[in-house]
Amino acid sequence: MSMLLDIAGFHAAYIRAIDQDDLERWPDFFADPSFYRITTAANVAEGLEAGVVYADSHGMLRDRITALRRANIYERQRYRHIVGLPALLDTPMRAETPFLVARVMHDGKTDLFATGVYRDEFVTMNGALKLARRDVILDSTRIDTLLAIPL
Amino acid sequence: MSMLLDIAGFHAAYIRAIDQDDLERWPDFFADPSFYRITTAANVAEGLEAGVVYADSHGMLRDRITALRRANIYERQRYRHIVGLPALLDTPMRAETPFLVARVMHDGKTDLFATGVYRDEFVTMNGALKLARRDVILDSTRIDTLLAIPL
Amino acid sequence: MSMLLDIAGFHAAYIRAIDQDDLERWPDFFADPSFYRITTAANVAEGLEAGVVYADSHGMLRDRITALRRANIYERQRYRHIVGLPALLDTPMRAETPFLVARVMHDGKTDLFATGVYRDEFVTMNGALKLARRDVILDSTRIDTLLAIPL
């Protein structure tokens, strides 16, 4: 399979785990240690390294899920990730992939929750792709409510 | 071609037939007999087998199009399906693929009409993929107006 | 690589250039001369050849970017293109690909800006795909504000 197909398959499995509430499998998509952050396009444009969410190990990713399960915010609404076609970057094992997330409220109303791009660096472990680094770069600067779900 | 590519091509042709109002070709994407239903994630979570729309033959699928043409609801607005990347399941010939549907009203206003996932089981007939079964699993429970168009 | 993958890669690179404000690279995705127009599904249904935006050379495409930079409209909001899976048409080197564009306003509000389909004819130049013709067919007839960004 080509790299493009491999990455497409990776994304499909990643968002499926999240959208069907299989959150405990989320850390498995990352190498350990790895780098994960959620930031904004505005922050990236200013060269800011900080993110609104940050993790560098499976332990930190798992803690996030545990907190989410306790807060129980996730249950009240559903999310649907749609991932576009990945753009392979010139550097091997790197890709950028646009995404959007729709949110379905408990009363059934659906809105466009978030858009942005995954800037990813992959490694291969036992023949499977893992994220060595994922920068989730959100288009919007209004991100307070975004902290609820993995992106 | 890989299975992932074959399925991607299938989805692209399927939604294209619907979105360009080529509805009479819709049954051709299914085996005959086959299983088609539209249901909700809430129903699936409760193990309910019933769907809000159900068909098990080309005849039933065609009837649906005939009813739709008579009602002429479809003409008043346009729909645009966007299908994400398919996730191949462990069982051969099965995949889950997220989708969203945007609706463009006659006055030009566009909104997010529906999101969900296609849970599909394929068979090969004369070298082409056909749906042996498609469960259209909607994220929202507000589905009354959804009955207008094929999903 | 298969044609489907080649086209998927083309789309990914095309929308990435636009969404990360690399607009000056936009003409490079076209042959020169070529044909580019933005039109509406209603116009196409009536057989109207005219488009609301039209270009047939790199020069005209570049002029459009220059005008856009001067007007500085693009800076005030962000756009995010999501491209679905391409449908290969029966004619070689032709494909149709659905897309949607989300718009993120300066205050962070995100809405569904446009949906439609790219109807494309490709040529190969030095091993890379270029657009010989792109018809951007919008689902909505409300297109005045659409003129701001390349689609």
Q: Which residues of B touch C140 (CB under 8 A)?
A: 78, 104, 108-110
pLDDT level of residue C109 (50, 70, 90 thresholds): confident
pLDDT level of residue A130 (50, 70, 90 thresholds): very high
Q: Are C57 and C33 in contact (CB under 8 A)?
A: yes
Q: Are C69 and C28 in contact (CB under 8 A)?
A: no
Nearest to B147 by CA among B62, B80, B52, B65: B52
Neighbours of B33 (CB within 10 A): 12
Handedness of CA C12, C15, C16, C17 (dihedral sign): positive
Tell me the mean pLDDT in the region A43-72: 88
- Check whether B1 has a pLDDT greater than 90: no
CA C126/CA C141 separation, integer angstroms: 38
B102 part of contact set with chain A, CB < 8 Å: no
What is the separation of C-alpha C139 from the centre of its chain, rounded to a whole number of angstroms? 14
Look at residue A144 in the predicted model and tell me its pLDDT.
59
Per residue in B95-149, pLDDT (tens digit) is 999 999 999 887 878 889 899 999 999 999 999 999 999 999 999 887 755 556 8
Q: Which residues of B touch A114 (CB under 8 A)?
A: none
Which stretch of A64-78, B28-42, C83-97, C116-130 has the lowest confidence by average pLDDT? A64-78
Q: C78-103 as b/e, with b when 16 or more CB fall inside 10 Å?
A: bbbbbbbbbbbeeeeebbbbbbbbbb
Q: What residue type is assigned to position C102 of the chain?
A: A
Per residue in A73-116, pLDDT (tens digit) is 555 788 999 999 999 998 999 999 999 999 988 787 888 989 99
Show the tokens assigned to A150: 């993995």
CA B122/CA B129 separation, integer angstroms: 6
Q: Which residues of C touch A5 (CB under 8 A)?
A: 5
Per residue in C81-107, pLDDT (tens digit) is 999 999 999 899 999 999 999 998 877
CB-nearest to B80 from C86, C96, C98 is C98
Q: Distance from B114 to chain A by nearest Cα, in Å?
A: 7
CA A44/CA A61 separation, integer angstroms: 22
Please give the residue that has the higher pLDDT: either A104 or C132. C132
CB-nearest to B96 from A16, A107, A109 is A16
Which of B125-132's residues contact partners 24+ apart within 8 Å by CB, and which partners?
B125/B31, B129/B6, B129/B7, B129/B10, B130/B29, B130/B30, B130/B31, B130/B34, B131/B29, B131/B30, B131/B31, B131/B34, B131/B36, B132/B31, B132/B34, B132/B35, B132/B93
Look at residue B27 in the predicted model and tell me its pLDDT.
97
Look at residue C147 in the predicted model and tell me its pLDDT.
59
Q: Which residues of B touch A25 (CB under 8 A)?
A: none
Please give the residue that has the higher pLDDT: either C142 or C137. C137
Look at residue A74 in the predicted model and tell me its pLDDT.
53
Percent of chain B at pLDDT > 70 equals: 92
- Check whether A146 has a pLDDT greater than 60: no
- Check whether C51 has a pLDDT greater than 90: no
CB-nearest to C5 from B5, B19, B102 is B5
Q: To probe the interface with A, which of C3, C7, C78, C80 has the most A CB atoms within 10 Å?
A: C80
Interface predicted TM-score (ipTM): 0.90
Look at residue A49 in the predicted model and tell me its pLDDT.
84
Nearest to A3 by CA among A126, A99, A89, A98: A89
Q: Are B51 and B40 in contact (CB under 8 A)?
A: no
Look at residue B82 in the predicted model and tell me its pLDDT.
97
Which chains border C (3 or more CB–CB pairs < 8 Å)? Answer: A, B
A17 part of contact set with chain B, CB < 8 Å: no
